[in-house]
Amino acid sequence: MSKTIRKLLVMNILSSIISIYISIFVNLYIWESDHGIGDVSLYNASMYVCWGLTFALASRMNSRFSIRPLLALSALCGGLAFLYLMTVHLESRMLWIVLLGVPVGMMFGLSQSSQNLSIALQGKENELAPYFAAVNITSQVLNMAVPIFSAAVIEWFGYNGSFVAMLLFIAAMLAYSAKMPKIYVQVRPAAHAQRIKEPFYALGFRTAFSYPGAKWVLLSLLAAGLFLQFQNMFALLFTFSVTQNKMLIAVLNLLYTLSSLLGLWLYRRIRLHEMRWLWIGTLLLAAGFLIALLHHPAMLIASNLLTSVGMFYFSIVWNAQQFKYIKHLSPGTKRSFLVWRECILVLTRCVLLGLTFSLTEIKGAAFVVIAGLAVACLIAIPVFQKCAGRENGKLGPPHSPEPEPAAMP
């Protein structure tokens, strides 16, 4: 990997530490109050809406500013979120939850926009799979270390002590943002290029999905948002249903991570085509979702073990393919695609969250219907990806592409 990609990997590690803590312990902090699935859904919906809006805004800002100030602003939003958790108490719990999701969503939106655009613009095709594999490996290590460290801090110093610890990582992220390469989108339309005219409110939708195979990628994104949010939310709630002891939650998370490392070992030992790995990941995820319907503690743990391995295979292939399909596009078109990619995922995530607002327990007919919808979307994704790859592979390099932006030290 190039120096630029390695720096992006380090920033990904710093932001992942904060993300892992938030995904487990902020959700647990909200859940502990009255075990309300609706409260957790409301927080995540607020977060994802702000995430999507901020991602779109940051991608526009990236044509004028490099990723350095965007990542610095992301860190500041993270710091604001933890200060809010420590100091703000409102009579309206729903308002408190919604307001908490705002800075968290802004932090993730700014960070993801900066890193995704950087990978799309700077990552060579032969760097994408190694980069996402490295991201997954470091994520596995962090998924073992961060929950145990955080649980220990909460045990000794309470939640406020853990919030202070996260503020220290926020400070490290802020400092490292100044060392990042100055990557930004330079849109230089060629004089002879024919551009698709779109009204302002379309925000480049037709441009973003005008390449061969794009309609299948769009369908894949629509299905993925529903599936990813189901997996992300209920993997946590399955664990919380088994135990609320912080250290036991960390130990279970360690067990899930070790299962992912087993998946990594098999991935390196067995040479298979990427589509076969995608199908293996898909089937493991589907099996995990289905056995969770039994709602026995042992089955919930087994479900998370299977989905941990499945998500490892799924995320490596799916993310690498999504970025590979747009490598031939101009920087401006890549930006439009990434904005719409994130907005579509946010929209469909919120649809799934909307379906869970009325849930009171992780069982029953309503939960079975939602789980069935998630599995159906999951099974459709490899089909859509294969169709997208078949059409995209027919396209050669563009005759006269826009120049790629430089990464300035």
Following DSSP, what letter does each residue of 182-210 receive, concatenated? B--------TT-------GGGTTHHHHT-
Which pTM was predicted?
A: 0.79
Residue that is written with structure tokens 């802004």 in the block: 106
**What does the pLDDT profile of the chain (409 residues) look like in tens digits?**
677 778 888 888 999 999 999 999 999 999 888 777 889 999 999 999 999 899 888 877 877 777 888 999 999 999 999 999 999 988 899 999 999 999 999 999 998 888 877 776 666 666 666 777 777 778 878 888 899 999 999 999 999 999 999 999 999 999 998 888 777 665 554 433 444 444 444 456 777 787 788 889 999 999 999 999 999 888 888 888 888 788 888 888 888 888 888 888 888 888 888 899 999 999 999 999 999 888 888 999 999 999 989 998 998 889 888 878 877 777 777 778 888 888 899 899 999 988 888 787 778 888 899 999 999 999 999 999 999 888 876 544 433 333 333 333 3
pLDDT of residue 213: 82
Of 37, 31, 48, 172, whose CA–CA distance to 104 is shortest?
48
Please give the Cα distance from 281 to 194 (Å, whole number).
41
Please give the Cα distance from 372 to 283 (Å, whole number).
14
Backbone angles phi, psi at 182, to 5 degrees: -85, 80
Of 291, 64, 76, whose CA–CA distance to 175 is shortest?
76
Q: Helices (H) and strands (E) in the chain — how many of each? A: 13, 0
Residue 221: CA atoms inside 13 Å, Cβ hemisphere, count?
A: 22
pLDDT of residue 199: 46
